[in-house]
Structure 1
Amino acid sequence: MVTDILLAPPIAFGIFLLISFTIDRVGDRIASDRADAGEAFRTAWASGEEPPSGQGRPRYRLYHVGIGFTIIHVAVLLVATIPIDANGVLLGVPLLAVVGLALFAIVEGGRPQPGR
């Protein structure tokens, strides 16, 4: 009976909100030694150091591959939840067609084109 009450969505949300707030406060207390460091810990380089010249720019050569895998995984999750009947086919085939077009656009957009 008590577990049913604790698993009710509003009660569970409140409990998790309280846990999250507690973790946030404890983390803020632990990290208070960094508060007086000024802007040193807010730079992009590790430990507040200035980045070496010429090495601070990231390269996104395989970014399109990661986005493609994300689209494929979301499509698999969607298709796995479609019911296996005629209505599922009516929903699944257009979904897979749109996913295929998206992947084609990502692959073609990731290739270097002459004149670009």
Structure 2
Amino acid sequence: MTVAVVLTPPVALLVFLLVAIGIDRVGQRIADERTGEGEFRTAYACGEDALGERLQPKYRLYHVGIGFTIVHVAVLLVATMPLSWRGLSLGIPLLSVVGLSLVALLEADRRPVTRR
């Protein structure tokens, strides 16, 4: 089998799928928090038991995750642009829009939202 065949998308997908299934099976065997049915015994809150009250999650760092997503997509787009004037004419407006969106994201997090 040559390297070119291994690097084709269907073969690579199967290889990664088999690796992921293997990791999942090993994780199921070594996890001590699972019962026989695959259910967790405790709530996922640092191993603490939930005391019968419903907890509301706090999304304090949500804007940071969205910012990282925007930056990573922009980097992927700019990295695949051609090194010419046409690529430059596409890249500069893209990066300016990304910069404006990050500024808007950070400013929206700074000011509290007031309801009328």
In the superposition, the TM-score normalised over structure 2's length comes to 0.63
1:112 counterpart = 2:105:
no
Structure of larger gyration radius: 1
Answer whether contact 1:40 1:48 (CA < 8 A) is retained. no
- Specify the alignment match of 1:99 in structure 2: 98
**Contact 2:33 2:40 survives alignment (8 Å):** no
Q: Report the Cα offset of residue 13 of structure 1.
A: 2.0
Distance, in Å, in 1 between the alignment partners of 2:57 and 2:8 is 45
Amino acid at match of 1:14: L
Q: Give structure 1 stretches of 5+ with no counterpart.
A: none
Cα deviation for residue 95 of structure 1 reads: 0.7
**Structure 2 residue ranges without an equivalent (≥5):** none
User: Could you tell me which amino acid in structure 2 is paired with residue 91 of structure 1?
Assistant: L
Report what 2:22 is aligned to. 22
The DSSP-based 3-state class of the residue aligned with 1:46 is coil
The AA in structure 2 aligned to 1:111 is R
Quick check: 98-107 or 67-76, which moved more? 67-76
CA distance in structure 2 between the partners assigned to 1:109 and 1:33 by the alignment? 40
Which residue number corresponds to residue 67 of structure 1?
66
Aligned residues: 112
CA distance in 1: counterparts of 2:18 and 2:111, whole angstroms = 50
Bigger share in helix: 1
2:34 aligned counterpart, secondary structure:
helix
